[in-house]
Structure 1
């Protein structure tokens, strides 16, 4: 019987975050810039960040607080606001809210923004 090589916990967490964000193939050319930026994101914040960035790449609506909370493993909207503030202070995202109260998130390193959604 042959033992297959495993992956360490950090690699597993990063692969899991990619799966949550819907990124199945880390070798696909369309994800290389996004994954390069993601290398600087702490493991516990990677799934929400990749989900936001994936929405921006796809031109999809910004995930709402409830979806981000589910991905982050919480039910606290306050925790999600702090998560977004932290990602913004880390210069990974830019959160915009228009006069109608709709939120969009930009990923400056990609030059892309999600479609707005009610915050």
Structure 2
């Protein structure tokens, strides 16, 4: 099953290939294979966060911004720049973070409900 992230839904994202402060708007549809997701976290930011967009302009994500954090499985990891083959190789797992403004609850709930439909709650 794939998770489709739709463009123009007010979703912003970041992944570990980007600077941690850089956040971009989702401007095209893309799919994530849910079979390749190792961990999922749902949380909200308790404090406002300073971020930067692609143009280099700073902005503040408000308190209460909702986040869906997808940590991919270890097979989708890469070695760090200081890693030496055969010697304590450190693998960095790929992650995606999706940010939803507090007023963008519909998009957040749509994606969260799709994920929750595939989860067995005990």
TM-score by length of 2: 0.28
Which one scores higher on RCO, CA 8 angstroms, separation ≥ 6?
2
Indicate the structure (1 or 2) with the bigger Cα radius of gyration: 2
- Structure with more of its chain in helix, by fraction: 1
TM-score by length of 1: 0.28
- Structure with more of its chain in strand, by fraction: 2
